[in-house]
Amino acid sequence: MQNRLSTRRLFLQRGLALLAATPTIPAFLDQTVMAIANPLDAPRVQQPSGKDGKILVVVQLSGGNDGLNTVVPFADDTYHKVRPGIRHDPKTLHKLTDSVALHPNLRPLLDMFQDGKLAVVQGVGYPNPNRSHFRSMDIWQSAQPEREQPSSGWVGRFFDNACAGAPGATPDPHAGINIGPTLPLAMQGERVMPLSLERPEAYRYRGADRKRYEALNGIGSPADARVAHGAPRQPSTLDFLHRTAMDAQVSSDDILRVTQNYQPAGVNYPRGDIGEGLRLVAAMIRGGLSTRVYYVSLGGFDTHANERGRHDQLMGRFAEAVAAFWSDLKGQKNDERVLMMTFSEFGRRVAQNASGGTDHGTAAPMFLMGPAVKGGIVGEHPSLTDLDHGDLKYRTDFRSVYATVLQSWLDTPSKTILGQQFKLAPVLRV
Amino acid sequence: MSVIHRLLEPYQPTDQDPFDAVKAAHLLNRAGFGGTSDEVEKVRKMGPAAAVEWLLDFPDQGAEGQNPEDVPNFASIDGFPKSFREMREAMRGKSQEEQQRFRQMLMRGNREAMGETSRWWLNRMAFGPHPLQEKLTLFWHGHFTTSFREERSAWLMWRQNELLRRMAAGNFEQFVKGISRDPAMLQYLNNNQNKKGKPNENYARELMELFTLGIGRYTEDDVKEAARAFTGWASEGDEFVFRRGQHDDGVKKFFGRIGNLDGDDVIELILRHPACSPYVAGKLFRFFAYEDLEPGIDASLGQVLRDATYDLRPALKMLFRSKAFYSPKAIGAQVKSPIQLVIGTVRMLGLELPPLPLLQRGLSQMGQVPFNPPNVKGWPTGEAWINSATLFARYNTCVFLAGGNVPGAGPRQGPLSDGNPKPRLRAKFKPESAGTAEETVDYWVSRLIQRPIDAQKRKVLIDSLGEQAGDEETVRRMVQLVVSMPEYQLC
């Protein structure tokens, strides 16, 4: 932490020295540099993201995970009748109750369930479900179904509210970290720009003249008369590039340091995106970054055809990675600080299609994992016969789960972020 | 005919607002992959009207149709089975283990062929005869998305790429009918599995949501009925086949029409929907001009498309000649796509195309690998290309292309290094006549960024040359700084 702040201050002091010669200070730097230059502001920046704080890890299952083959309602005859080609044999499942059971490859989650560290929220969805991947993903990520073109995500608005510091202060560039090629809408806010990276080794500038590179990315922007006259203006794409370059530079050293050669003893992360992603998250948690929310994704769930092979494999990869992550965190003694939440943009049709797959559907279960979880089954399972256009009717609004996570875990009033007060779901002990 | 939106009226050069090198470079950036200094000068002299005619003057043919030699190297899949039937033949009499090995051999060969096809296409983008045709092909690849993932056949991906090229500025109705019969598309969106009584809705939904209308212009029932109309549209090898026995001949109700509709009927009804031409025109405008378009532009440009019975050229011509296209809102305001960034750098520095593995790795870190869009919605645009990781990848890739001596990069670490840290470059890092530090900086900024830059930044670049403005290595380092500027990320 100390290291990070001093790095940042050094960086900005250098920037400031160069600025002294600049007649026009771009609006974004005007704010950030002036704010950080005032020593009284530093603690305000640091405070909301203390490194001992609680952490949320979001796992996104992209493509529409088949909820009914993840948490299987094995005791319901309809399940077996409408899915003759893709149903699971009850003998292979891990039973949670007399009516539902986990996918055969989710064995590690059964252990967590038995330890009271897994909550399964059944039938999660939202009113007037949309069956487009993109629209439904936007809805889940923005938590603003009423907006046609949402511009911010629910985690992003949490950052804006809780991690941006006082007005005018520099937001903490570590507040959120996405592992993956593109920053999801969920993480996008108005003020805080979370980091996004795929591989830490590639996460730094490799040119020779780093000093001038920083100057070219930190100072100056096209002379803008309105800035010269001190009037506020809309940030331009160039401002956005400057800001991204600055955040990237500040964070790159830290992230390299904490992730390099991270090999926890006795923990085997599976190869592939999700295993590698969670390994990096564990490394950064261990490294003491001030990050409050990490975001990782596992894709490939759009199983329109020949679902079983692919879905079974994905479940296996997911479970292995999650198991390794929790065993790692326990070894670090950081597990108490971490809550993991999974979601997908929708579940799939109740009945299989003719291609041995399933088409886009609606409600599906969410998992919450960690020592802070109140383990068990939450909410009722949707009926397999009382359907809406062949799809499940949701029982729990996903924003209830978000609200609970925001209020009870991230200690932030949820109404500000979700626009209305949702009933909290009994998923956390805290 | 309705009134044309005032921003779509042709831009007329005047003494106050001349068609200068900045505007000529802008046209070459957007209607292609960036111009060299000579090309910018040539286009400037032509003027906007003649330049746009010239750019749009390409045959509505695939590369092979234009030149039978111009095809990817498919040696790695020579003699491979091209259909299920041939595959069954090839598998006959083999043990399970032999079959497994045979499949792996096919997969390896196919991946190699896909790489060759990427190289072939990137090469056409950089050095082909018709830059706008290739730019449009890239646009349509992001629009009528199909991905190589799931080991789709490189042969089919190439055939689809040629369809996109042939139709790039052709007739949109014929285009939609063609893509709806394209084997790679029929596989990608599962229409091969769309059968009578057992519909698969994937193609029907994306046809409306992404290809023609946009979300919210149709109901869930429309999706179901359209899916029925497309039952039996399938592929066999690299051919489209209509499987009569799998086609649903029943009565469907779609967009007010009732009858035994088939796929073509559905396409014609969709294209008659008032939302279709503004949707397509708006998407073209956003891609080529700017994203935050003024109200009415999409409707007005859409009307032009419709008045031309969906021929694309008149609308494209209007777009590239419009006041909007040459306005400050457009010029230098677009975040370059990774392909634009790499191909543009190769062109503007006068390089050869770097070896494919290096190219692929760089493009993958920046988020745009040809034939591998992230999902059916295609690639992102604008600021969505940029985050802290992709920005490093973009800078590092460009530094590398500019002959960067990448510090501390061992094998397989740098964005484009593959144990081969020096690219094979033809770039010369001295202007024809070595001048002062100021002249050297101005020369490279106008060659690469193609717009004036902030005075403070110019000074940083000049200072970097010190007294060494004539030294090639010093100039090379300065050029590496130019391509590490946020301004270079925009065009």
Q: Annotate B150-168 with DSSP letters as a single string.
A: TT--HHHHHHHHHHHHHHT
Where residue B71 falls among pLDDT bands split at 50, 70, 90? very high
Using CA atoms, how far apart are residues A8 and B403, in angstroms rounded to an integer?
30
Closest residue of chain A to B461, computed from CA coordinates: A212
Neighboring chain B residues of A182 at a CB cutoff of 8 Å? 367, 374, 380, 384, 387, 390
Average pLDDT over residues A214-229: 52
Q: The complex's ipTM? A: 0.89
Question: How is A267-313 classified by DSSP, letter by letter?
Answer: --PPSSHHHHHHHHHHHHHHTT---SEEEEEE-----SSSHHHHHHH
The reported pLDDT for the residue numbered B130 is 97
Closest residue of chain B to A239, computed from CA coordinates: B486
Asked if residue B201 is part of any domain, the answer here is no
Closest residue of chain A to B385, computed from CA coordinates: A182
Using CA atoms, how far apart are residues A355 and B86, in angstroms rounded to an integer?
22
Asked if residue B36 is part of any domain, the answer here is yes
Neighboring chain B residues of A213 at a CB cutoff of 8 Å? 395, 481, 484
Closest-CA distance of chain B to residue A110, Å: 31
Average pLDDT over residues A270-293: 94
Inform me whether the pLDDT recorded for A291 exceeds 60: yes
Q: Using one digit for the tens of pLDDT, what is the confidence trace for B347-384?
A: 999 888 888 888 888 898 898 999 998 778 889 899 98
Closest-CA distance of chain B to residue A282, Å: 19
Three-class SS string for A393-425? CCCEEHHHHHHHHHHHHCCCCHHHHHCCCCCCC
The residue from B304, B321, B338 where one domain ends is B321
Using CA atoms, how far apart are residues B373 and A21, in angstroms rounded to an integer?
45
Using CA atoms, how far apart are residues B440 and B430, in angstroms rounded to an integer?
8
Asked if residue B360 is part of any domain, the answer here is no
- The answer to whether A293 and A175 have CB atoms below 8 angstroms apart is yes
Where residue A17 falls among pLDDT bands split at 50, 70, 90? very low
User: Which residue's structure tokens are 């230059």?
Assistant: A37
Asked if residue B478 is part of any domain, the answer here is yes
Structural domain count, chain B = 2
Where residue A51 falls among pLDDT bands split at 50, 70, 90? low
Say which amino acid occupies A342.
Answer: T
Closest residue of chain B to A22, computed from CA coordinates: B456
The residue from B300, B321, B342 where one domain ends is B321
Minimum-distance CB partner of A241 among B199, B399, B486? B486
The burial of A253, by beta-carbon neighbours within 10 Å (0-12 exposed, 13-18 middle, 19 or more buried), is given as middle
Where residue B430 falls among pLDDT bands split at 50, 70, 90? low
Contact B481 A212 (CB under 8 A): yes
Asked if residue B189 is part of any domain, the answer here is no
Contact B209 A217 (CB under 8 A): no
Contact B388 A251 (CB under 8 A): yes
Closest-CA distance of chain A to residue B337, Å: 14
Asked if residue B105 is part of any domain, the answer here is no
Q: Using one digit for the tens of pLDDT, what is the confidence trace for B262-296?
A: 999 999 999 999 999 999 999 999 999 999 999 99
Closest-CA distance of chain A to residue B161, Å: 24
Neighboring chain B residues of A148 at a CB cutoff of 8 Å? 216
Total-model pTM:
0.77
Sign of the dihedral defined by the CA atoms of residues A15, A157, A63, A267, in that order: positive
Asked if residue B363 is part of any domain, the answer here is no
Minimum-distance CB partner of A216 among B199, B392, B485? B485
To the nearest 10 degrees (0 to 180), the angle between helices A27-37 and A2-19 is: 120
Asked if residue B71 is part of any domain, the answer here is no
Closest-CA distance of chain B to residue A184, Å: 10
Neighboring chain B residues of A21 at a CB cutoff of 8 Å? 456
Of B223 and B418, the structure prediction assigns the larger pLDDT to B223
Using CA atoms, how far apart are residues A52 and A149, in angstroms rounded to an integer?
36
Where residue B429 falls among pLDDT bands split at 50, 70, 90? low
For residue B11, what are the domain limits?
6-57+274-321
The residue from B305, B321, B337 where one domain ends is B321
